[in-house]
């Protein structure tokens, strides 16, 4: 894998339509349709729409407060929507509790990991398998820990882990339920270049297994490296869809990011 700050273009995932280069809704794994979330008079999501295909990595980017994490929170069941639809394989799932969504195949990571701090790393993952697996199926604990460089700390309490290890444990707990849709909320924040390269490679491997990923991230180099396409958000709305390379030339995206740094590199 190249450096997370290098430019690359991923091959379109299986299920992507040709021609316009935009995925079709008919075979979408996840559909977000005119999603609305209000907090009082504030519209955190204002009729946001997009689709996600199996095996695709979709980036959600935008300035702080644009609604990226709120979208993840609604899709994962942490918040109930005030309008619109969330469909998994065409079946409405909006408003279901997080544990029900996990059993259906939607799971997530958090900006701030939320493990059971007094339990060991291994027990945290085993608990996720026991209570979060779908259709009676769960991942193998030891294989999962090994794949995320957690085998050496498997017996340590989660509270003793460093920042990168906490994030890997959060990812392990989500993957333990064998999701079909994985929502990743700022997993790369605070990681060094070597850690970024490893987690980027891991996310790409997850996508190759057929899981659809929605990745919220401020590190534009990392997003450019791993995503098939991005949705740029502003004020709860979808303002651009396409590659990050194309987004940096879009007048509306440039206007939104004016004064917030270069949208193409570094932190946004």
User: What predicted TM-score, i.e. pTM, was given to this entire model?
Assistant: 0.85
pLDDT for 3 equals 40
Q: Report the first-to-last Cα separation within the chain, whole angstroms.
A: 23
Cα separation, 115 vs 18, whole angstroms: 41
- pLDDT tens for 18-69 read 333 455 566 899 999 999 999 999 999 999 999 999 999 999 999 999 999 9
Beta bridge partners of 117: none
For 184-212, what is the mean pLDDT? 93
- 81 pLDDT exceeds 90? yes
C-alpha pair distances (Å), 34 with each of 6, 63, 159, 195: 34, 20, 40, 36
- pLDDT tens for 206-265 read 999 999 999 999 999 999 999 999 999 999 999 999 999 999 899 999 988 865 555 554
CA nearest neighbour of 22 among 47, 52, 54, 60:
52
Mean pLDDT over each residue of the chain, to the nearest integer = 87
- CB within 8 Å of 100: residues ≥ 6 apart: 77
């Amino acid at each position: 894998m190249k450096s997370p700050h290098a430019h690359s273009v991923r091959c379109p995932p299986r299920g992507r339509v040709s021609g316009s280069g935009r995925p079709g809704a008919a075979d979408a794994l996840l559909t977000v349709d005119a999603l609305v979330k209000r907090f009082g008079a504030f519209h955190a999501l204002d009729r946001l729409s997009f689709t996600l295909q199996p095996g695709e990595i979709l980036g959600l980017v935008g300035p702080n407060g644009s609604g990226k994490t709120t979208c993840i929170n609604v899709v994962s069941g942490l918040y109930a929507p005030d309008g619109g639809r969330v469909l998994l394989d065409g079946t409405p799932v909006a408003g279901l509790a997080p544990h029900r969504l996990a059993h259906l195949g939607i799971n997530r990571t958090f900006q701030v990991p939320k493990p059971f701090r007094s339990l060991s790393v291994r027990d945290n993952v085993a608990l996720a398998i026991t209570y979060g697996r779908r259709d009676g199926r769960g991942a193998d604990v030891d294989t999962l820990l090994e794949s995320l460089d957690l085998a050496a700390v498997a017996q340590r309490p989660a509270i003793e882990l460093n920042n990168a290890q906490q994030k890997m444990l959060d990812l392990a707990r989500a993957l333990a339920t064998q999701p079909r849709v994985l929502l990743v909320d700022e997993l790369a924040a605070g990681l060094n270049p070597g850690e970024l390269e490893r987690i980027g490679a891991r996310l790409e491997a997850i996508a190759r297994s057929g899981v659809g990923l929605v990745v919220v991230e401020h590190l534009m180099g990392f997003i450019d490296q791993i995503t098939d396409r991005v949705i740029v958000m502003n004020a709860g709305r979808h303002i651009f869809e396409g590659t990050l390379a194309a987004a940096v030339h879009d007048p509306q995206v440039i206007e939104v990011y004016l004064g917030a740094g270069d949208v193409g590199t570094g932190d946004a």
